[in-house]
Structure 1
Amino acid sequence: MFDFMAGIGKNVILMTAITAWFTAQVLKTITSYWRHGSFNAERLVGAGGMPSSHTALVVSLAVGVALKDGLESSLFAVAVVLAGIVMYDAAGVRRAAGKQAKVINKLVREMRVEHKVRDTRLKELLGHTPLEVLGGAVHGTLIAYAFYVFCR
């Protein structure tokens, strides 16, 4: 088991991606506090917010592979396709689902006044704005480059 954990710890690309995700989650918590004036622990693990931690993770993965194996590698191609899918989902599909949840929550609140409707609140902060996705991409790129410079 120790050899397994040591091997994972030596995988620079994996450590790059995990670090990018973790630091983006911390930054997301800080930006949420700055924006709303109160600490929200859910921001440490939740979706949505600035920067996109999903984007930071997949972009750092792709940039890390590019720096280590080159732009011509098959692994880089897989990482770029994965990053594209995740970023599209973050800014497109999940964002649209969050907007729909907001409308449904409003309808439930309004209907509760006149009718008996059970209060089931849907999560509204699911996706990201294009700026949040861009922030995650920049963050992921910087983390991957830092690992490349300091861990080779």
Structure 2
Amino acid sequence: MSVFYNFPLNAALLSIVLAQLIKVPIYLITKQTWNLKLGFSTGGMPSSHSAAVCSLAAAIGIEEGLSSASFAIAVIVSAITMYDAAGIRRHAGIHASLINQLMSAFPGTKGTPPKKALKELLGHRPIEVVVGALFGILVSIVLNYVIY
């Protein structure tokens, strides 16, 4: 049962849940419409992936020190995850959008069209990644202060 006392794990998981939850009210404020599905999907403000990995790195840094090997590993994994979210996954979403537009513009094209439209909201804008990272770090600091 010691997994329940694992500060880095708990901080990262809490960051994911909180980041996903606050996507809905942020979307409501910025777009003046509800989108409850955003709480269970990828993309959006803030990046829950960035929040999770940065929260994990921060919690490891708090618990083991900034010179620990674990902290170094967590920072590198965080950098790769955030680069992927703002780079490769974002571009995959842009490609999906263009493919969806082509499939609707040319419905009689040869080949097997997708059964439904491809998911377009896959990655994040850089600001969503940065806010997610800062949010995750803040969650670790607050959780450490309040509970640990």
Q: Kindly state the Cα deviation for residue 32 of structure 1 after the two structures are TM-superposed.
A: 2.0
| Gapped regions of structure 1 (runs ≥ 5) | none
Q: How many equivalent residue pairs?
A: 145
Q: Which residue of 1 aligns with 2:10?
A: 15
Letter in 1 for 2:67: E
Q: Kindly state the Cα deviation for residue 103 of structure 1 after the two structures are TM-superposed.
A: 0.5
User: SS where residue 87 of structure 2 aligns?
Assistant: helix
Provide the C-alpha distance between the structure 1 equivalents of 2:68 and 2:98, rounded to a whole number of angstroms.
45
2:41 maps to which of 46, 52, 77: 46
Give TM-score, length-normalised by structure 1: 0.89
1:100 maps to which of 85, 91, 95: 95
- Indicate whether 1:123 and 2:123 are aligned: no
C-alpha RMSD of matched pairs (Å): 1.5
The C-alpha deviation readout for 1:32-70, integer Å capped at 9, x for no partner, is 222333332321121100000000000000011111111
Give TM-score, length-normalised by structure 2: 0.91
Q: Which residue of 1 aligns with 2:83?
A: 88
Provide the C-alpha distance between the structure 1 equivalents of 2:109 and 2:57, rounded to a whole number of angstroms.
51
Provide the C-alpha distance between the structure 1 equivalents of 2:6 and 2:95, rounded to a whole number of angstroms.
40
Question: Percent same amino acid among aligned pairs?
Answer: 38
The C-alpha deviation readout for 1:71-116, integer Å capped at 9, x for no partner, is 110100110011011101100000000000011001011102xx26
2:55 maps to which of 60, 68, 86: 60
Structure 1 moving runs of 4+ over 6 Å: none
